[in-house]
Structures are given as structure tokens and as C-alpha cells.
């Protein structure tokens, strides 16, 4: 049995604010992925859902929710929740089932509807740190992004203009992406002139929240031959936790770990996320043609260049301004337009990143195609020590 797992099909529901049920979006994405793979729903024997916390009980059990919506077919199911990394946990669960020979064709789905404005606490429970951080400190998600951005400015001399250049790049990348919510080119002046949310970040530096859904069909390499889809290899998957002590002030925590007894981890959490997947894949950062990373803020995209290993710490601004992370450069970052053009749909986003990389490696990305793309990586990080990455190769 082959130990090579492939993405055989990818599908999305466009991101936006559509006012519909997350189940409808997920079904649209799932059907698109099935069609892309040339697979019939009856052939799917494992459904792996990424959960949403904002849609009641059906959101907690997405494996069953989407299996029912597509019409019960007796498939085995799993539901995963891991904040922003939920989508890749769902991919990892499906991959493990396929590798073990316990299923043949897996459907992975993530979908969400999100409220306008700040992502807020989902329970009214003072024992939940995600509640208490709003109550006791008023620390929103953008507050943390602001802290990270100011830290970057202090460490590397970055400026607000550097951050704005990320938005300018990503807004151009996403201009013709039919799945992106925001398709408008922004100038540096517009980004710098937008109202400040959490200094040094303005409204155009911080990603919005959106409705959206993404789905994948996964199978073993030899199974793929039975279908018409054009497979792309999943060469590495990472859902690593931090190593103690985690000295990055992760959302929604009040404090980092204490490095009193153990001074520094072997590798920082953010550095470990993508590098773990790259190591499994045997792919060097220099071999990457594209990366889809979580630009929750413009400044965080720059951190990712360094976290992935595209450049040394402090080298990201030069890479950006040299054009190395746009079309024609060494590694195009966020060719989809990234969160800047999508807005975050939490359980769908990590899956959407994999959809984009798969289409790019197949040469199916249309106007936003990265020339000759052969290897790509995704990276994200969210609440409670969750991060994820997938490496795909042609």
C-alpha cells in the first residue's frame, strides 16, 4: 500500500457575508471538491469536519452535520476543533485513516459564519480565559496583533509603511480571485490613512471575519488513478504544540510560560509550525515556490517569512520590498490574496489555504498562477497554542 496521500479535489464557497447557514456553504464547497476530484459522494467513506463554535450544536459535530446534509451514506466520521488550526487537524485525521488503510476516499470540510467586528468570547463563563481576557484587560484579538507588531518594530526597526506594503501586495494578489471577499487594490497611502484599531495597526492592517467554506477530497496515490482528478501530494502535515517554555504571548493568554527553570525551548513555537511539516516532507524553505500564511495582520505576514525559514530574523522587510514574495520573486506569499482579501472564516481557512496551494501546483490558478510552482506550504496560528502547516508537492 502506498504511503503517499494526495489531494484529489478542492472546492470552496466564496468568502463574504451571505447571511446563510454554515451548512449550506459547506455543502457547496464539498460538492465542488467532489466534482473537481471526479468522485461521487457514494464513494466517500470518511468525512472529516472542522468544527465551528458559533453555530450551535451542528457546528460542534461537523463530520455528522455534513454527512447528513449530503445524504447519509454510512461513511465513518470525525470532527476536529483546534481554533484556527481546525482545518488541518481535520486533514490530519483523514490522512491518518487513509495511511492506516481504514478508509479509501476522505472528504474534509470546514465552514463558518462569523459575526461582524471583533471575534468575541463564545461562552459567558468567567472561568474561561477567553472570557476573562475581555473582562479584566480588554484584550481583543487585534490587541495581541498590535503587541506583536510593536514588538517587531522594536526588534527589527520595522515601520508602519513596511506593514502597509504587505496589504498593498496581497490586495493585488487577490484582485481576480473568484473566492476572495475583497477584490480591491489598495495603495500604501490608503493603508496608512485608515483609522488605527490597535496601534500600530489600522483597519486595513487587520483581517476581517467572513463567511466561507472549503473542502478537499483526499485519498492514497493508487486510489487516485480510479478517478479523473489531478492529484497533488501531501508531503507533510504539522499540528505541533509549543515546546516549554512558550515565550510568545499567545492569544487569549494573560501571560507567557515562565522560563525560570527551563530557559529557552529548542525552537520557538512559531518557528516550529511550518518547519515540522517541511522536515517531514524533506523540502527546504528555499525549494518553496509559494506559501499561504495567516496574515491576521500585515505585520504577522512578515514574521511568517522568518518562521518558515525564507529569510533570517529581521530579513522579511527586505524580502518584501525586493519583490521576492510576489509574482516573479523566489517564493510568492499569499498568491490567493490571503486573509487580507478573504477575511477569516476560522474552520474553513486552513483548508482554503490547502485548496489554493493545490490549484497552484496543478497550474489551475488562472490569473494568479505562480509560474512553474512545484512546492508550496501553508501556515497558520491561532488561540490556545494551536498552529498548523501543510506542505504540498507536485
Partner 1 sequence: MGSRPVVEGWFSEGEEPALTGSRCTQCGTFAFPKQLAFCSNPHCDCDEIEEASLSRRGTIWSYTNSMYKPPHPYVAGDDFKPYALAAVELEHEKMVIVGQVAAGVAYESLAVGDEVELVIERLFSDDDGDVVTWKWRPVAEGASS
Binding mask 270-309 for partner 1 (x = CB under 8 A): ----------------------------------------
Q: What is the DSSP letter of 260?
A: S
Please enumerate in sequence order all residues whose Cβ is within 8 A of that of 316, keeping only pairs 6 or more positions apart, or say none. Answer: 156, 302, 303, 305, 306, 310
Q: Which helix (H) or strand (E) holds 223?
A: helix 221-224
- Identify the residue among 122, 254, 282, 318 touching partner 1 (CB under 8 A): 254
User: Contact 292/88 with Cβ under 8 angstroms?
Assistant: no
Contacts of 226 (CB under 8 A, 6+ apart): none
Verify binding: residue 126, partner 1, rule CB under 8 A: yes
Burial class (CB in 10 A: 0-12, 13-18, 19+), 367: exposed
**Which of 244, 282, 321, 322 is close enough to bind partner 1 by CB under 8 A?**
244
Bond before 332 cis per omega within 30 degrees:
no
Among 148, 227, 294, 305, binds partner 1 (CB under 8 A): 148
User: Which of these ranges, 4-12, 122-130, 176-184, 272-280, lies near partner 1 under the rule CB under 8 A?
Assistant: 122-130
Pick the binder of partner 1 from 71, 72, 260, 367 (CB under 8 A). 260
| CB environment 251-273: b (16+ within 10 A), e (fewer) | bbbeeebeeeeeeebeeebbbbb
Q: How many residues bind partner 1 (CB under 8 A)?
A: 46
Q: Which member of 39, 139, 300, 361 binds partner 1 (CB under 8 A)?
A: 139
Residue 266 near partner 1 by CB under 8 A = no
Q: Is 208 in the site for partner 1 (CB under 8 A)?
A: no
Candidate list 61, 64, 99, 147; residue touching partner 1; CB under 8 A: 147
Contact call for residue 140 and partner 1 (CB under 8 A): yes
Identify the residue among 64, 96, 121, 192 touching partner 1 (CB under 8 A).
Answer: 121
For residue 252, whether the previous peptide bond is cis, meaning omega lies within 30 degrees of 0, is: yes
Cell numbers 530574523 label which residue?
313
Phi-psi region of 6 (alpha: psi -120 to 50; beta: other; left: phi over 0): beta
| 138 is an interface residue for partner 1 by CB under 8 A | yes
Please, what is the minimum distance in Å from the beta carbon of residue 90 to partner 1? 27
Task: Pick the closer one to partner 1 by CB: 53 or 69.
Answer: 53
**Does residue 241 interact with partner 1 by CB under 8 A?**
no
DSSP collapsed to 3 states, 107-176: EEEEEECCCCCCCCCCCCCCCCHHHHHHHHHCCCHHHHHHHHHHHHHHHHCCCHHHHHHHHHHHHHHCCC
Residue 247 in contact with partner 1, rule: CB under 8 A: yes
Choose one: 20-28, 127-135, 223-231, 386-394; the region binding partner 1 (CB under 8 A): 127-135
From the list 3, 71, 154, 266, which residue makes contact with partner 1 (rule: CB under 8 A)? 154
d(CA 337, CA 120): 25
Place of cell 476573562: 132
- Is 261 an interacting residue with respect to partner 1 (CB under 8 A)? yes
- Please choose, out of 29-37, 126-134, 229-237, 312-320, the segment that lies near partner 1 by the rule CB under 8 A: 126-134
Q: Is the dihedral of CA 66, 69, 71, 72 positive or negative?
A: positive
Of 26-34, 86-94, 102-110, 250-258: span binding partner 1 (CB under 8 A): 250-258
Query: Cα separation of 303 and 313, whole Å?
Result: 8
352-371 positions binding partner 1, by CB under 8 A: none
User: Within positions 178 to 207, which residues make up the interface with partner 1, using CB under 8 A?
Assistant: 195-201
Collect all residues with Cβ–Cβ distance below 8 Å to 75 and sequence separation of at least 6: 44, 45, 46, 47, 67, 107
Cβ distance to partner 1 smaller for residue 2 or 122 = 122
Is 117 one of the binding residues for partner 1 (CB under 8 A)? yes
Interaction between residue 134 and partner 1 (CB under 8 A)? yes
Minimum CB separation from partner 1 for residue 317, in Å? Answer: 18
Residues that bind partner 1 (CB under 8 A): 117-118, 120-121, 124, 126, 129, 131-132, 134-140, 142-143, 146-151, 154, 195-201, 244-245, 247, 249, 254-263
Amino acid at each position: 500500500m502506498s504511503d503517499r496521500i494526495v489531494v484529489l479535489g478542492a472546492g470552496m464557497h466564496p468568502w463574504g457575508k451571505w447571511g446563510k447557514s454554515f451548512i449550506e456553504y459547506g455543502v457547496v464547497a464539498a460538492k465542488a471538491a467532489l466534482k473537481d476530484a471526479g468522485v461521487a459522494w457514494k464513494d466517500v467513506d470518511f468525512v472529516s469536519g472542522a468544527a465551528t463554535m458559533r453555530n450551535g450544536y451542528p457546528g460542534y459535530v461537523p463530520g455528522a452535520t455534513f454527512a447528513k446534509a449530503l445524504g447519509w451514506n454510512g461513511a465513518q466520521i470525525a470532527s476536529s476543533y483546534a481554533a484556527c488550526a481546525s482545518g488541518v487537524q481535520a486533514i490530519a485525521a483523514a490522512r491518518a485513516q487513509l495511511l492506516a488503510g481504514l478508509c479509501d476516499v476522505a472528504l474534509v470540510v470546514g465552514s463558518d459564519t462569523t459575526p461582524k467586528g471583533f471575534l468575541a468570547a463564545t461562552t459567558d463563563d468567567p472561568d474561561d480565559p477567553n472570557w476573562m481576557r475581555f473582562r479584566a484587560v480588554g484584550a481583543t484579538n487585534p490587541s495581541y496583533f498590535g503587541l506583536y507588531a510593536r514588538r517587531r518594530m522594536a526588534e527589527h526597526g520595522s515601520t508602519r509603511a513596511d506593514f502597509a506594503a504587505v496589504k498593498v501586495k496581497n490586495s493585488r494578489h487577490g484582485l481576480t480571485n473568484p473566492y476572495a471577499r475583497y477584490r480591491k487594490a489598495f495603495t500604501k497611502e490608503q493603508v496608512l490613512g485608515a483609522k488605527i484599531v490597535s496601534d500600530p495597526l489600522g483597519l486595513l492592517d487587520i483581517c476581517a471575519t467572513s463567511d466561507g467554506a472549503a473542502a478537499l477530497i483526499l485519498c492514497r496515490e493508487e486510489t487516485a488513478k480510479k478517478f479523473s482528478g489531478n492529484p497533488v501530494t501531501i508531503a507533510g502535515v504539522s499540528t505541533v504544540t509549543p515546546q516549554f517554555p512558550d515565550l510568545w504571548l499567545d492569544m487569549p493568554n494573560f501571560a507567557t510560560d515562565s522560563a525560570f527553570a527551563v530557559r529557552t525551548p529548542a525552537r520557538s513555537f512559531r518557528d516550529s509550525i511550518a518547519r515540522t511539516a517541511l522536515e517531514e516532507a524533506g523540502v527546504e524553505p528555499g525549494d518553496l515556490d509559494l506559501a499561504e500564511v495567516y496574515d491576521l495582520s500585515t505585520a504577522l505576514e512578515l514574521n511568517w517569512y522568518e518562521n518558515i525559514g525564507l529569510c533570517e530574523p529581521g530579513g522579511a522587510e527586505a524580502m518584501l520590498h525586493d519583490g521576492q514574495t510576489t509574482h516573479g520573486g523566489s517564493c510568492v506569499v499569499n498568491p490567493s490574496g490571503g486573509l487580507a482579501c478573504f477575511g477569516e472564516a476560522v474552520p474553513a481557512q486552513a483548508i482554503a489555504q490547502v485548496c489554493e496551494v493545490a490549484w497552484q501546483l496543478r497550474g489551475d490558478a488562472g490569473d494568479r498562477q505562480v509560474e512553474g510552482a512545484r512546492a508550496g506550504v501553508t501556515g497558520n496560528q491561532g488561540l490556545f497554542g494551536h498552529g498548523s502547516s501543510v506542505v504540498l508537492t507536485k
